[in-house]
Structure 1
């Protein structure tokens, strides 16, 4: 009598969850090390304005930054790595200015409005400031100040949203909220701002998480190279908008087509041959890890190891009650919701969507019913990569219009946490799980250091699996 492979898959997934928890702790430690690279401020300082000034990949030393307001007037110069930092003791509104006379010849700001700007301290203790440079004749310096490096809060520029730091730092842009702040420093306003940021973050993660769960449901493969699909979308969007200056709508179309093509190549060149040879799931898992490493360092070879800024405006400042955010962040959330609704309708109302769910439930029975399983799997790979590439567009825009070679890897843990939390193989479960993870990671920073937010999300995952192993929307019969 043939036994079901579901219990074995469940055991494998639990092993993966434990590995993810360990990786989360390691990631938190790595973030703390990256944060330590910034210039130190006095321990009495409650808030810190900071950033890194670069012309492309070249750090600019000696550029003077001045912070004024609330009786403070302090000027600092960037160090050899381009980093600067100014600490202030009191909350309030401050003006941060760059002395353009100290910039090297040929380096200019993208616009005069970036020379001097106001920032309001809010929920985050460290505020990244972006000074974007105009493109040069050779293709240009687009990054300027990479912004929030070593942010221990949950946003970059929480007053105006310009840097959009995401709870991580510029060296680790993967992680937390958009640049959502408050007009006051009350606790409940801060909670509301964090909840909105967490919701937006969760919706963007849901696009990538659905891709993971569709691939897992139809093939049983836990794709650890999925984060690189997100990075790929961000890199193509950066290249098309910033390097060649195409209109955003054209750049979006090209990015989505390229992401879909990469998903097709994944299945055609690697995973379909492995399926035909009957390679086991553990071996395929190892292949995905190797593929992740190879793609990640290929991306580093292409764009370098620093942060690159996108020449895409993030919109005007928007005040919604006590919340301060950018209109671009609202647009990102709306787009994510529309796409998620479209995916839900595709899975429930179309023939192909129903075939996908049938293959996910029982591939052998689906094949016996006349469904072309290989075709469905190929379409799932294309759809999953398409959604994740779109997530890469929105996510790089969401974190402050920055792209880094390993941005997808930094959120891979949270993508898997969302999939497992919502229920294995359930696209709607992945949506719910990703939103829960986004909210937990943001709200947890009200009480703990932001470096530990990933660990909190993984702790919630472990607790849910202990009391409800099938996940929030998973079916108990899947557990075995």
Structure 2
């Protein structure tokens, strides 16, 4: 038996869910097409993407190989921030210049840690550059590096940018940009990393649907919880200051318990009372809003960074490919975790029980399988995987109370592309969404790449509602 879970819901449930998600995707797709004006005041504008906090890197408009910093509370307005590091040495005294419509908006000099932050008058698209006259002797731009960046800044929060600087001996004097091949290669690697993270979250979402027929709209909050738990355990200011690897492991364990709390504290009692599945789905939407804004009260509205590995330059140069070491580690861990999930579902007794409950719950119960235990294991596994995805997303980008909401629809896209209830399909769907959306920034602004993911989702739902790897349910 294949380890891709088969759909355990009825045709009617599938039809209702497909239509609902199609409507949501269509609305957000149209909303993403709405341009972001400089006078916009909302922090939840339709053009926010799942990786809206990804630093703007000069290797590609959407590539997240940027050095980021732990920002201060930016509740008073938006800002652009950068950290300049060459060969592990911070560059002090370099001017960061921000312009709009050819006029200088602000200028700030890097401090002893190489950090410069320019506060902006409002959201919009700005031109960011370094003053070349302030660069230290022996430091120059890397080959093909962009001298000017054009990030789109939201109404609040820091927007991190990076300038690739190297020792003058390895730099070039031309002002040319990256070659198309280099940009495509870096975007491909960035998309694979992001796709692996999405796949981790999408697998749990898909397995929950396969075993309980519940579409959990609060799944993004499981991801957010993992990222925030790791931040509180890791942060040197306001946290316990534990190493990130230890904090991440503990956060995954806490996320597992958080997922179990959903099952034991909410959905199992609702099922015992005979609540219809559609009503449970509506409950999950309410839970998502409640938990999300509880996070905003406890954590704050500004985004934050982990204390370790935040300020990393893309020091892994593999020919035309430049990567941050943590991006490579994140990709490897995510890949190993997905392989482990596959082996668990295909080789273990509990994995066989999960697949049996997903195929036919009544027959599984008649065969002596404890479906309540199976459901608890599924919720715990989904919480742990979402927590791992949250830690990785927070490490590569930033931690904020809206991060789960931003990737929720992308996880749905991955699940529906692969096929409802199929774990293998969720993995493939996550990789596809990550790669295609990042590659689309060759032609689109990075803040609009969600259009590709949503557009692909709409097309798949219209042409193949069961997904690429899903099969149509048999009818009597």
TM-score, reference length from structure 2: 0.74
Pairing 1:7–2:11 present:
yes
Map residues 60-79 of structure 1 onto 2, 5 A cutoff.
66-67=95-96, 76-77=107-108, 78-79=118-119
Aligned partners of 2:218 and 2:285 also within 8 Å: yes
Q: Quote the residue 2:127 is aligned against.
A: 87
Q: State the structure with bigger RCO (CA 8 A, min sep 6), 1 or 2.
A: 2
**Shift in CA distance, 53/279, structure 1 to aligned 2, threshold 3 Å:** closer
Q: CA deviation at 1:449?
A: 2.7
CA distance in 1, matches of 2:80, 2:322: 33
Q: Deviations over 1:194-247 (max 9, x none)?
A: 111111100010000001001000000000000011110110011111022112
Q: CA deviation at 1:435?
A: 0.5
CA distance in 1, matches of 2:269, 2:385: 24
Map residues 462-473 of structure 1 onto 2, 5 A cutoff.
462-473=458-469
Q: Quote the residue 2:86 is aligned against.
A: none
CA distance in 2, matches of 1:438, 1:462: 16
**Shift in CA distance, 17/146, structure 1 to aligned 2, threshold 3 Å:** same
Aligned partners of 1:418 and 1:432 also within 8 Å: yes
CA distance in 1, matches of 2:9, 2:72: 54
Q: Quote the residue 1:419 is aligned against.
A: 415
Aligned partners of 1:51 and 1:83 also within 8 Å: no
**Shift in CA distance, 146/272, structure 1 to aligned 2, threshold 3 Å:** same
Match of 1:126 among 137, 150, 167: 150
Tell me how large the CA RMSD over aligned residues is.
3.9
Where 2:323 maps in the other structure, the secondary structure is: strand
Where 1:470 maps in the other structure, the secondary structure is: coil
Match of 2:32 among 17, 22, 28: 28
Aligned partners of 1:210 and 1:431 also within 8 Å: yes
Aligned partners of 2:40 and 2:123 also within 8 Å: no
Pairing 1:245–2:241 present:
yes
Q: Quote the residue 2:223 is aligned against.
A: 230
Where 1:371 maps in the other structure, the secondary structure is: coil
Pairing 1:406–2:410 present:
no
Structure 2 unaligned blocks of 5 or more: 1-7, 43-57, 82-92, 109-117, 166-175
Where 1:55 maps in the other structure, the secondary structure is: coil
Aligned length: 401
Q: Quote the residue 1:281 is aligned against.
A: 277
Aligned partners of 1:207 and 1:388 also within 8 Å: yes
Map residues 446-461 of structure 1 onto 2, 5 A cutoff.
446-461=442-457
**Shift in CA distance, 425/460, structure 1 to aligned 2, threshold 3 Å:** same
Q: Quote the residue 2:22 is aligned against.
A: 18
Pairing 1:336–2:334 present:
yes
Where 1:324 maps in the other structure, the secondary structure is: strand
Q: Quote the residue 1:197 is aligned against.
A: 190
Pairing 1:215–2:255 present:
no
Pairing 1:384–2:396 present:
no
Aligned partners of 1:53 and 1:83 also within 8 Å: no
Map residues 284-299 of structure 1 onto 2, 5 A cutoff.
284-299=280-295
**Shift in CA distance, 33/406, structure 1 to aligned 2, threshold 3 Å:** farther
Q: Deviations over 1:326-381 (max 9, x none)?
A: 01000000000000000000000000001001111111111111111111001100
Q: CA deviation at 1:187?
A: 1.2
Where 1:192 maps in the other structure, the secondary structure is: helix
Q: Quote the residue 1:269 is aligned against.
A: 265
Match of 2:308 among 284, 307, 312: 312
Structure 1 unaligned blocks of 5 or more: 39-46, 99-112, 130-144, 149-155, 161-182
CA distance in 2, matches of 1:37, 1:118: 35
**Shift in CA distance, 94/66, structure 1 to aligned 2, threshold 3 Å:** closer
Q: CA deviation at 1:453?
A: 1.8
**Shift in CA distance, 87/125, structure 1 to aligned 2, threshold 3 Å:** closer
Where 1:228 maps in the other structure, the secondary structure is: helix
Aligned partners of 1:470 and 1:478 also within 8 Å: no
Aligned partners of 2:25 and 2:457 also within 8 Å: no
Q: Quote the residue 1:169 is aligned against.
A: none
Where 2:228 maps in the other structure, the secondary structure is: helix
**Shift in CA distance, 158/458, structure 1 to aligned 2, threshold 3 Å:** farther
CA distance in 2, matches of 1:9, 1:95: 61
Aligned partners of 2:346 and 2:352 also within 8 Å: yes
Q: Quote the residue 2:162 is aligned against.
A: 157
Q: Deviations over 1:142-161 (max 9, x none)?
A: xxx9333xxxxxxx53747x
Q: CA deviation at 1:59?
A: 5.3
**Shift in CA distance, 125/10, structure 1 to aligned 2, threshold 3 Å:** farther
Aligned partners of 2:200 and 2:389 also within 8 Å: yes
CA distance in 1, matches of 2:360, 2:208: 14
Aligned partners of 2:71 and 2:305 also within 8 Å: no
Where 1:147 maps in the other structure, the secondary structure is: strand
**Shift in CA distance, 200/79, structure 1 to aligned 2, threshold 3 Å:** closer
Aligned partners of 2:244 and 2:306 also within 8 Å: no
CA distance in 2, matches of 1:121, 1:460: 32
**Shift in CA distance, 368/6, structure 1 to aligned 2, threshold 3 Å:** same
**Shift in CA distance, 158/367, structure 1 to aligned 2, threshold 3 Å:** farther
Q: Quote the residue 2:171 is aligned against.
A: none
CA distance in 2, matches of 1:217, 1:292: 20
